[in-house]
Amino acid sequence: MADVKNVDATTFEAEVLQSDIPVLVDFWAPWCAPCQMVAPIVEKVAEGFAGRAKVVKVNVDEAPELANQYGIRGIPSLLVFKGGDVVSRLVGVQPEPVLRSALEAAL
């Protein structure tokens, strides 16, 4: 099982913005059916990038300030951060190759 951490406003800076490796952030909510569809894909990508990139999840219901700060208007939204900056933004259910490609580009 991949190490996909749940982060919130108190841990976001340390886990994402200060990370020395790229981070894929999955903005989601438990009631969101498409979010449930993309979850296993995100887990698989996390396993494939273990040690090279980090994958975290942000529950938009529990961290609305983060969703607002990053302009999340639809979920799932998947953002790739590198050096504290958003370098890729994907909205909706994405196939595994698209997520892998976005992370590869940030390496």
Active site residues: 32, 35
Helix 96-106 to helix 33-48 angle (10° resolution) is 50
Report DSSP state, residue 68: H
Whole-angstrom distance, CA of residue 70 vs CA of residue 59: 13
Whole-angstrom distance, CA of residue 11 vs CA of residue 19: 11
CB 75 within 8 A of CB 28: yes
Report DSSP state, residue 51: T
Position 54: which residue type? Answer: K
